[in-house]
Amino acid sequence: MKKNYIFIAALSLLLSMSQFSAQTIWTGPMTTFTKTNNADWTLEANQDRITDNVWITRANNQGIFNIVTEPSYADFSSPADTEWAIGTTANIGSLMFQNWEDTSGSNPPSLVNQDMVVHLITDDIYIDIKFLSWQSGGAGGGFSYERSTDQNLSTETFEFNERLKLRPNPASTYVKISGLRNSEYYTIYNVLGSKVKSGKISNDEAINIESFTDGLYLLKLDNGHSLKFLKQ
């Protein structure tokens, strides 16, 4: 009887350790995502595509949602396939996870500058996240946050970003990107998230922006890297 008890206890411990090891905690460098007021949330530029299962965005009002599986925000369930907690992954064992709205106490502005963890349920990934801004009152749906990234990809990703230089910035007639090792397809979005230009460029090749209206733009490369510049 005692041997059976020891065996069951050991088996339970092994199962517990197996479950914990299956979890992934992203500890790579922080990245910042911003959706500006009145930006088109259906466009890729205005979605934080964290994994294939979770793309975070927000309409011009209400809360954030996962546009992979949800057409809009739903009270006490959005973003789908996620759960949230106040704290950091350093103390993950003591965190209480629940839906995003309950975590905020139905008061999203209270989350600004608050250390949080989001759990991507299907992917079983835990991410440190902190909201930096939140537009209230149905005045455009803008918000921003910083979050941790996948440490297994971060070295290559951030070394690549360090090599890339966009100039001149601000610009009036053209921009160039230095640091490209190969030709890359690009797309340029305006501040509302609408595509204004696309094409293929090589290292230090000029992209004509003379016809652009003055303002902030986001240039995204097909490999996922992006650069902002100001047209004036």
Superfamily of domain 164-231: Immunoglobulins (2.60.40.10)
Among 21-30, 129-138, 203-212, which stretch is predicted with the lowest mean pLDDT?
21-30
**Interval 161-207: pLDDT, tens:** 557 788 888 899 999 988 888 888 999 988 777 889 999 999 889 99
> pLDDT above 70 covers what percent of the chain?
84
pLDDT band at 65 (very low <50, low <70, confident <90, very high): very high
DSSP 149-187: E-HHHHHHHHHHHHH-EEESSSBSSEEEEE--SS-EEEE
Give the C-alpha separation, 177 to 167, whole Å: 7
Amino acid at 122: T
Q: What is the mean pLDDT of residues 24-35?
A: 88
Check residue 16 and give its pLDDT: 42
Q: Is 55 exposed, middle or buried (0-12, 13-18, 19+ CB in 10 A)?
A: buried
Mean pLDDT of the chain: 84
Q: What is the mean pLDDT of residues 70-86?
A: 96
Give the C-alpha separation, 115 to 187, whole Å: 33
Task: Write down the pTM of the prediction.
Answer: 0.65
**Interval 189-199: pLDDT, tens:** 887 778 899 99
- Is a pLDDT exceeding 90 seen at residue 230? no
Among 11-15, 82-86, 115-119, which stretch is predicted with the lowest mean pLDDT?
11-15
Residue 181, phi then psi, degrees to nearest 5:
-90, -25
**Interval 90-132: pLDDT, tens:** 998 899 999 999 999 999 999 999 999 999 999 999 999 999 9
- 232 DSSP 8-state letter: -
What is the residue extent of each domain of the chain?
Answer: 23-153, 164-231
Q: Is the dihedral of CA 125, 39, 58, 199 positive or negative?
A: negative
- Per the omega criterion (within 30 degrees of 0), is the bond before 29 cis? no
Check residue 4 and give its pLDDT: 52
Check residue 218 and give its pLDDT: 85
- Is a pLDDT exceeding 80 seen at residue 29? yes
Region label for 121, one of left (φ > 0), alpha (ψ between -120 and 50) or beta (otherwise): alpha
